[in-house]
Amino acid sequence: MEEIYKGFLIYDKKFYIELSEIDNSKKYNFKDGYLIENKESNRTTYKMNEYYSNKTIFDAIDIYSEYKDKDVLKLPSSYIFDLWFNELKRDATSFKKTFGLDKIDKRFTNVDDCFEYWKQIALKDKDVLKFITDEKIEMFFNIQIENDKILNSKAKRLDNLVW
């Protein structure tokens, strides 16, 4: 069954292709995940994407449509750098002594791990401890979720938009 939804051609509620990727002036037949031009020879064929995520392709397209043109948000580590270098007027040597050479921007699959990580970072300096509140940690986690949606939308990875 063929459907058109927000600029996508969808078959069987799991195979999809953006209408802008095909020549809309031609007629096609759908077979085994391919659009095949409806003529006898020299047919144009398009491989459609197959949707594997746990919600519907329509849910993924809704998120894609909402996020594909958004700019990536400022990373949590940038907030820490701004605090350290701009507000506290400290240097790179003191940053290295306090936090080491480890990257201070990990990714998290759940909010509890995010809280634990940032609480450990905050304990390394009294001014950072005042800055990194529970609300700030929740904001950091939400930034990661938003950026994931933005980056996956820009890359047209619809399978990664809903979970």
Residue with tokens 């990580």: 117
pLDDT at res. 106:
87
- Edge-to-edge strand order for the sheet containing 45-47? 28-31, 34-37, 45-47
Distance of CA 27 to CAs 1, 23, 30, 70, 138, Å? 15, 9, 10, 34, 50
Cα–Cα dist 76/139, whole Å: 8
27 touches 43 (CB < 8 A): no
Distance of CA 16 to CAs 11, 37, 75, 162, Å? 6, 16, 32, 16
Backbone angle region of 152, left / alpha / beta, with phi > 0 → left and psi within -120 to 50 → alpha: alpha
pLDDT at res. 38:
92
Which amino acid is it at 118? W
Query: What are the pLDDT tens digits along the chain (163 aa)?
Result: 899 999 999 999 999 999 999 998 999 999 999 999 998 888 999 999 999 999 999 999 999 999 999 999 999 999 999 999 999 999 999 999 999 887 788 889 899 999 999 999 999 999 999 999 999 999 999 999 999 999 999 999 999 998 7
Q: Which residues pair with 9 in a beta bridge?
A: 4, 17
Which SS3 state, helix, strand or coil, does residue 16 take? strand
